[in-house]
Amino acid sequence: MTAPDAGFDCLSSLLRVRAGIELARTKTYLVESRLGPLARVHGFVNVSEFLQRLARDGIGEALATDLVEAMLNNETFFFRDIQPFDLLKERILPQLRAARAASRRIRIWSAAASTGQEPYSVAMLFAEDRESWEGWTIDIVGTDISRRAITRARSGLYSQFEVQRGLSIHRLMAHFEKAGEHWALSPEIRAKVRFQPLNLLGPWSLGAPFDIILCRNVLMYLAHTCKQEVLARIHRQLSPDGRLVLGAAETVLGVSDAFAPDWQNRGLYLPAGLQPPTFARAV
| Maximum Cα interatomic distance, the chain, rounded to a whole number of Å | 62
Question: Hey, what domains does the chain have and what are their CATH numbers?
Answer: 6-71 (1.10.155.10), 83-279 (3.40.50.150)
Global pTM value: 0.87
Is the CB of residue 133 less than 8 Å from the CB of residue 100?
Answer: no
Residue 11 Cα distances to 59, 128, 219, 224, angstroms: 10, 45, 20, 19
Residue 243 Cα distances to 112, 128, 206, 218, 220, angstroms: 16, 22, 17, 17, 19
In this prediction, residue 281 carries a pLDDT of: 43
Q: Which residues are catalytic?
A: 34, 144
Angle at Cα 85 formed by Cα 160 and Cα 113, nearest 5°? 60
Q: Where are the beta strands (DSSP E) in the chain?
A: 105-110, 137-144, 157-159, 176-179, 182-185, 193-197, 210-215, 238-246, 259-261, 268-271
In this prediction, residue 180 carries a pLDDT of: 92
Neighbouring CB atoms inside 10 A of 273's CB total 8
Nearest-angstrom CA–CA distance, 278 and 275: 6
User: Tens digit of pLDDT per residue, the chain (283 long)?
Assistant: 443 488 888 888 888 888 888 888 887 888 888 898 888 988 888 888 888 888 887 788 888 888 888 888 888 999 999 999 999 999 999 999 999 999 999 999 999 999 999 999 999 999 999 999 999 999 999 999 999 999 999 999 999 999 999 999 999 999 999 999 999 999 999 999 999 999 999 888 899 999 999 999 999 888 899 999 999 999 999 999 999 999 988 999 999 999 999 888 889 999 987 765 444 443 3
Instruction: State the DSSP code for 73.
Output: -
In this prediction, residue 283 carries a pLDDT of: 35
In this prediction, residue 265 carries a pLDDT of: 87
